[in-house]
Structure formats: C-alpha cells, structure tokens
Amino acid sequence: MDFTLTPGQKTVQEKARQAAAAVKAKAAFLDREELFPGEILKEWAEAGFFGLSLPKEYGGGGHDYVTYCLAQMELTQACPSAALILHLNHSLFGLALAQFGTPEQKRQFLPPVARGEIFTCFALTEPEAGSDPSRLQTTAVPAGPDWLLTGRKNFVTSADRARYGLVAALTDPGQGPKGISAFIVDLNTLGVKRGPVEEKMSLTGAVSAALEFHEVRVPKDGLLGELNHGLKIFLATLDGARVGAAAQAVGLGRAVLGHALEHARRRVQFGQPLAQFQNIQWKLADMATDLEAAALLTLKAAWLKDQRQPYTTAAAMAKRFATDAAMAAALEGVQILGGYGVLKDYPLERYFRDAKAGQIYEGTNEIMRLLIARELIKG
C-alpha cells in the first residue's frame, strides 16, 4: 500500500495551497458582507481548478479525482463558498456530462464549464422531494421534437447566475422514480424564473434560490443519457460529488485546527499558553486525529473512483465521517477561542456556520448512514 503522491498531485496540491493563501483575507471580507466571491473564482478559473479532472479534450485538466480532492482540501480552507461553486461546475455538472453525455453535448457544454467561464447548477431537490426522489413532481412532456419542462426546484446553489442546469424531471410518472430523466437546461430560456436569493446562515457567497419552469422548451438533445434513466445518473453523479464534499470538509476542518492551534499557542491564561493545558491538548489531538482519518477515507474513495471500482459506500462513509469531523472540529475550535470564537472578526464563527451545511447538502448524513447500513445488511 503506497500513500505517496505523484509529482503531478504534489504540484496541484501546492498550487492550490498558494492560491488559497492568496485569497484568505478577501474571503473573510466577502463572507462578512455576504458578497459573491467573483474575483476569487476568476483567479481559480485562470489557474485551471474548475476543470481539474475533466477530460483534456473538452478543456479540462485530465487529472485524476484524487488530485481534485487534494486541491479542494486546500481551496476550502480559504473560501468554502467559492470552493462549493467550483465543485458544482466540476463534479455535479461537469462530471455528469463527462460520464453520460454524448460527444456533441461534451463539445458544446464542457469547455466553458471546465474553464469557469460560466456557472452551472444541479437541480434535483423540490419542495416535496428532498431525500425522497419518489415525490418528484417536475415533469417533462414531449412537444414535437422537444420537451416541455414544468415544475419547481428548491435550494439550488448558483441558481441566481447559472447559465446551465442539470434538472431532474418525470418523463413517465407512472413509473415513479424509475420514470425520472435528466435534462441539460439553458436557464436563459423563456419560461425559466429564478426565485429570490435565500438568506442563509452559512456559505453566504454560494447563493441559493428556487428555480421555476413554466413549460420551458428543452431541445431533444437536451436529454442527458437514456430516457427514464435519470435517477441512476443523479445518484452516480452524487457518489462522486460526495467524495468532493468530503474533501471540502477536510479542508474546512484543517482550517479550524490551524486557527485553534495558533490561538492556543498565543493565548496566555493562568501564567501559561492555553496549549500547555492538558484538556486543550486533548481537544487538539482529537481534532487532528479525526481529520487525518477523514482525509484517508476521502482519498480512498477518490482512488476507488479513479480505479473504476464500486465506491458508493466508500463515498457515503467519507462524506458522513468528514463532515461530522469538520463540525466537531468547529465546535471545539469555537470553545478553544472562547469569547473570540463567536466574534465575526475571527474566522471560527464563519467556519462553524459553514461546517453545518456540509452535514446537509449532497445527501444528509442520516441518508449516508442509511446507504452504508443497506450495503452492510446486503452482505
């Protein structure tokens, strides 16, 4: 078993580390003002992070998914909101097209997505269908050579500015979840309505909003993959994206640990630095251990994906453990900083809020436990 990174992986990791360091102060300001991290995303796009593991022939970097995860572990330490927006382009839209798209769809959509020239979104969740896709109500019905899309999607990150969306819709309602198809939708099409920006407690730069579709005409070639195979496409896409989400959680947790450690070394109480108190040492040790375990779970899942081996369970384990570890680290980090931990002038308050979101998006951790348990029971 070899844990050594390749020269290419090390190069991307160091590049991402430097890119993150360059925008940390800017990211804190943007979060405080609840502003879109456009400048940060532009810098990351120019550095090639948007298309890291997307195919080279369609504008991507051609790296493996382990490399992408290593980069996310660095970038998220600076700006979790920007890292999530990048993740949407790369893993939730880009990788879905790379795996299931036709050559023509890849030629049309992937290059601007991989270069970060446009933003995309992933529209699965609805007011009555979150963890349970069987309650999906958005429909797509044939209309001559095209489809007419009608329905509403909730909690769509980047819905305010995304050009294209990957949208789930029922094409055979009688089959329930087996009648779902996946569509590539141009969100500038007549009949698409973008809802107001939702006020969130976390990831404020990664704007969420509803999308409404009122008989939106989608060309025939907007169907991604086979008709009525959409649920398989969305679940397969989420498997990969959950590994990326786990990498983001590792990065966020590492940022928390770094700030908590710095504070513990500097802050003096009762005549000695906090870092000299055993209970503080134990907190730091547990944080470091859990984050290291989360990183290993994440990289294993990414490696399985790269080897084209089954990794659904590994992805669920990585996502569940890493996001829980990040939340636990944030809780202890705020506690170590004490009163400073809840001040907006200090980074722990922001990381605490952002860590919570990781336990919810791309499948709640309760759903991750269900997936893991089902595989265990199947034997």
Query: Does the annotation mark 362 as catalytic?
Result: yes
State how far the Cα of 241 lies from the Cα of 243, in Å rounded to an integer: 5
What are the residues whose beta carbons fall under 8 Å from the beta carbon of 379, sequence distance 6 or more? Answer: none
Q: Other CB atoms closer than 10 Å to residue 66's CB: what's the count?
A: 23
State how far the Cα of 55 lies from the Cα of 206, in Å rounded to an integer: 26
What are the residues whose beta carbons fall under 8 Å from the beta carbon of 172, sequence distance 6 or more? Answer: 178, 179, 228
Contact call for residues 203 and 214 (beta carbons, < 8 A)? no
74, 126, 349, 362: the catalytic one is 362
Name the phi and psi angles at 187, rounded to 5. Answer: -80, 0
State how far the Cα of 84 lies from the Cα of 208, in Å rounded to an integer: 12
State how far the Cα of 367 lies from the Cα of 379, in Å rounded to an integer: 19
State how far the Cα of 60 lies from the Cα of 71, in Å rounded to an integer: 15
Radius of gyration of the chain from its Cα atoms, rounded to whole angstroms: 21
Length of the chain in terms of residues written: 379
State how far the Cα of 186 lies from the Cα of 189, in Å rounded to an integer: 6
State how far the Cα of 174 lies from the Cα of 329, in Å rounded to an integer: 46
Contact call for residues 59 and 4 (beta carbons, < 8 A)? no
Strands 208-218 and 164-170: unpaired
Which residue, 240, 189, 181, 241, is CA-closest to 211?
189
State how far the Cα of 179 lies from the Cα of 221, in Å rounded to an integer: 18
Task: List, by residue number, the catalytic residues.
Answer: 362
